[in-house]
């Protein structure tokens, strides 16, 4: 058995002290004797020493050592081993998936560990049976919930559902993308979205605005409107200058008994572009009105003068010229206004995001079906995402291909390449002598493919995309092609935005039952609180001596669940060198952080992510010290409560020698992946924290205030950075 050396030293200390006391006492006693007495004592002790071979003091020392060794064995077998066995048993009680107990200590303790493992195995089998029964009973509900979640994810309109406390319990990817655009976070500050499960919608909208909308709905219901269709609308501005149109409808229980709403649904539209177009049109109309008023006044004055019968011919010509000029100016203004409105209509046509490879494949299939001619992809960048009206664009390309019958279509090809922030889509064919005037004329007439006639022209389709179409001839290779200039999508579509191959969590209907109430945060139950679990990677261990943060990673815990799809993961430019000795630990090299946002830019984004939550970390005093030193430069202060899994582990397992993250995870059956990356450590810490909560409850630690008080009494809370 492995002993704690400190315990052995503690047990040896009394024996050593006794031996030293006896030896010192003997020497002092001998010094107090006169020579005659000393000689008598020596004469009495001499035969004793001669007969035994060692001094009695040595016997005392050996006896004390043997007693200490025996006491150490007894302590390890009958005190330390049962205490550790009790800690491990509490873990098994709280988590059926925790590892089995390792038998150690005396025979009785080992037998007890084996018996407990047997009970745990039987409990696992029973829970597995119960889990199968529960799964079978709830499968239908789960399928309906998953179908709703999938449906919400595919909607093109932004949807957010909240409970009455304003906590977000459902949203779709469209809403996530919308608020990501509206966020003021620096480019690349991942996870800095304004919304997330369990977060408050009042971080986005004014609480009074939501309350007023709910009151409006209730008034409409009270006056007789249908509760199922009653809604309210409002428009609100966002800090970044965007305008949102919001439609609100209450969420009510299934029973139609006039019950109070349990939450509300928000349908969101970014109308900033529409507002700008409308404002520009209103401004043009106002300018047209003011200019026309002056033109009408000039023409009226000129016409009044022209009515004079004795007007000189020269004067008559001059006033007629005024009328012609004013009429011409008014015509030009009307033409400009009409052209601007036409362009607005073209560019505001709804476009959808489409992968370039899919578009090329669809075009090739359509042309082959209409003309019988096979189309060969030529230099196609299939990774480009385009923003297109795919139906009209495919129709335009099929129309052009059908008109190429006089030419050699045997080598018909299609090409897609990126050109800056646009894309070139080319329809290519072999042509020795192509007449540009004929081919250009195809662009302006109505399109007809087979029996299908479209009111649009090829040029209309290009303008609908805010782009152009033109004809080019490559004489060197005897090739001609039509080229469409198309817009690139602003980003990949919702389905491609995932975190580490996992689907983000978009809904948690259990939050309908959540209610903050009016209790102080310290009085709230640990299981009812939302947490932000975070970790930092740094250039070194000494924040007060110039070391800097180079990465912040975080995840959130809401309703007892780790939201792996809502993570904050941001590299930080430390604006200093990264020591070579630290690179093997975190794997972050200088080139990886060069040009990334600084800590002054990242901290406000992280503060938004962590708002209205309790911070959690492992040995979190270290990380908080780094954040504290950056309060002035960033203008951000983290003043919410903080919990440390290291301290909480020492509370629930006081007999364990190690409380580092790996040791705690091993005890609690948590698998760590991505160690020493900020997000990897944050996710592992989150899992460890959830495993610690039932162990804290067993010790009567139920609220946040109790957990903070218990952690402050730990020996490890004395560490300072």
Q: Which residues form the catalytic set?
A: 676
End-to-end alpha-carbon separation of the chain, Å? 37
Q: In a 3-state reduction of DSSP, which class is residue 497? A: coil
Q: In the sheet where 422-430 sits, what is the strand order?
A: 376-380, 408-419, 422-430, 479-487, 469-474
Write the CA distances from 464 to 350, 363, 403, 440, 493, integer angstroms: 9, 18, 22, 18, 21
Query: Ramachandran region of residue 332, left (φ > 0), alpha (ψ -120 to 50) or beta?
Result: alpha
How far is 326 from 29, CA to CA, in rounded Å? 132
Please report which helix (H) or strand (E) contains residue 168, including its range. Answer: strand 168-171
Distance CA(175)–CA(572), nearest Å, equals 27
Based on the number of CB atoms within 10 Å of its own CB, is 686 exposed (0-12), middle (13-18) or buried (19 or more)?
buried
CA dist., res. 20 & res. 320, Å (int): 131
Separation of alpha carbons 54 and 330, rounded Å? 128
Q: Are 642 and 534 in contact (CB under 8 A)?
A: no
Beta bridge partners of 486: 423
Here the tokens at position 562 are 């780790």
CA–CA separation, 543 and 546 (whole Å) = 6
What is each CA distance from 642 to 182, 647, 718, in whole angstroms? 29, 11, 15
The 8 Å CB, 24+ separation contacts for 64-68 are 64/12, 64/14, 64/15, 64/16, 64/18, 64/19, 65/12, 65/15, 67/11, 67/15, 68/8, 68/11, 68/12, 68/13, 68/14, 68/15
Q: Are 554 and 567 in contact (CB under 8 A)?
A: yes
- In sequence order, which ranges of 307-355 are alpha helices (DSSP H)? 313-347
The answer to whether 621 touches 644, Cβ cutoff 8 Å, is yes
């Amino acid at each position: 058995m492995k002993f704690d050396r400190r315990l052995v030293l503690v047990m040896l200390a009394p024996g050593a002290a006794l031996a030293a006391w006896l030896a010192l006492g003997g020497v002092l006693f001998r010094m107090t004797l006169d020579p005659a007495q000393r000689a008598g004592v020596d004469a009495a002790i001499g035969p004793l020493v001669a007969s035994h071979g060692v001094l009695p003091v040595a016997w005392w020392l050996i006896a004390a050592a043997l007693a200490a060794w025996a006491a150490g064995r007894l302590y390890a077998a009958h005190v330390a081993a049962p205490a550790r066995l009790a800690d491990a048993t509490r873990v098994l009680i709280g988590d059926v998936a925790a590892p089995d107990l390792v038998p150690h200590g005396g025979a009785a303790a080992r037998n007890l560990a084996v018996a407990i493992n047997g009970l745990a195995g039987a409990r696992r089998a029973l829970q597995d049976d119960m889990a199968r029964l529960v799964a079978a009973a709830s499968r239908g509900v789960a399928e309906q919930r998953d179908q709703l979640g999938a449906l919400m994810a595919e909607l093109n309109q932004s949807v957010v559902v909240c409970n009455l406390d304003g906590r977000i319990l459902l949203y779709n990817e469209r809403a996530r993308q919308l608020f990501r655009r509206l966020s003021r976070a620096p480019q690349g500050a991942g996870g800095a979205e304004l919304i997330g499960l369990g977060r408050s919608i009042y971080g986005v909208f004014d609480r009074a605005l939501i309350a007023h909308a709910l009151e409006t709905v209730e008034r409409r219901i009270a006056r007789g409107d249908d509760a199922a269709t009653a809604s309210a609308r409002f428009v609100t501005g966002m800090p970044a200058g965007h305008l949102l149109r919001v439609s609100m409808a209450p969420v009510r229980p299934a029973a139609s008994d006039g019950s109070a709403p349990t939450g509300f649904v928000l349908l969101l539209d970014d109308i900033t572009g529409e507002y700008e177009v409308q404002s520009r049109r209103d401004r043009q109309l106002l300018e047209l009105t003011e200019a026309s008023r002056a033109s009408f006044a000039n023409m009226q004055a000129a016409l009044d003068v022209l009515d004079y019968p004795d007007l000189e011919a020269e004067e008559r010509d001059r006033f007629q010229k005024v009328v012609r000029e004013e009429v011409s100016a008014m015509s030009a203004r009307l033409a400009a206004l009409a052209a601007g409105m036409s362009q607005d209509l073209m560019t505001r046509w709804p476009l959808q995001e489409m992968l370039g490879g899919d578009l090329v494949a669809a075009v090739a299939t359509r042309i082959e079906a209409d003309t019988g001619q096979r189309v060969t992809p030529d230099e196609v960048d299939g990774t480009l995402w385009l923003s297109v009206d795919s139906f009209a664009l495919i129709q335009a390309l099929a129309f052009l291909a059908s008109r190429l019958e006089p030419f050699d279509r045997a080598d018909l090809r299609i090409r897609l390449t990126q050109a800056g922030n646009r894309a070139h889509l080319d329809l290519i064919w072999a042509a020795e002598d192509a007449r540009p005037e004929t081919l250009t004329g195809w662009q302006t007439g109505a399109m007809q493919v087979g029996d299908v006639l479209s009111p649009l022209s090829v040029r209309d389709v290009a303008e609908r995309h805010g782009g152009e179409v033109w004809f080019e001839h490559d004489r060197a290779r005897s090739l001609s092609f039509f080229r469409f200039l198309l817009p690139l999508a602003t980003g990949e579509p919702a389905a491609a935005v995932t975190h580490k191959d996992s689907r983000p969590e978009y809904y948690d209907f259990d939050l309908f039952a959540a209610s903050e109430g009016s209790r102080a945060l310290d009085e709230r139950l640990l299981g009812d609180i939302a947490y932000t679990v975070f970790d930092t990677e740094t250039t070194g261990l000494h924040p007060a001596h110039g070391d800097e943060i180079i990465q912040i990673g975080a995840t959130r815990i809401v309703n007892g669940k780790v939201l792996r799809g809502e993570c904050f993961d941001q590299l930080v430019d430390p604006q200093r060198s990264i020591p070579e000795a630290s690179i093997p630990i975190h794997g972050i090299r200088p080139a990886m952080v060069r040009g990334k946002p600084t800590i002054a830019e990242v901290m406000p984004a992280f503060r938004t992510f962590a708002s209205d939550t309790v911070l959690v970390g492992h040995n979190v005093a270290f990380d908080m010290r780094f954040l504290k030193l950056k309060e002035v430069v960033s203008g951000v202060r983290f003043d919410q409560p903080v919990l440390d899994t290291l301290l909480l582990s020492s509370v629930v397992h006081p007999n364990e020698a190690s409380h580092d993250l790996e040791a705690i995870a091993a005890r609690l059956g948590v698998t760590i992946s991505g160690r020493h990356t900020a997000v990897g450590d944050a996710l592992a810490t989150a899992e460890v924290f959830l495993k610690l909560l039932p162990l804290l409850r067993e010790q009567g630690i139920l609220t946040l205030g109790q957990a903070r008080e218990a952690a402050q009494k730990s020996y490890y809370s004395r560490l300072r950075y």
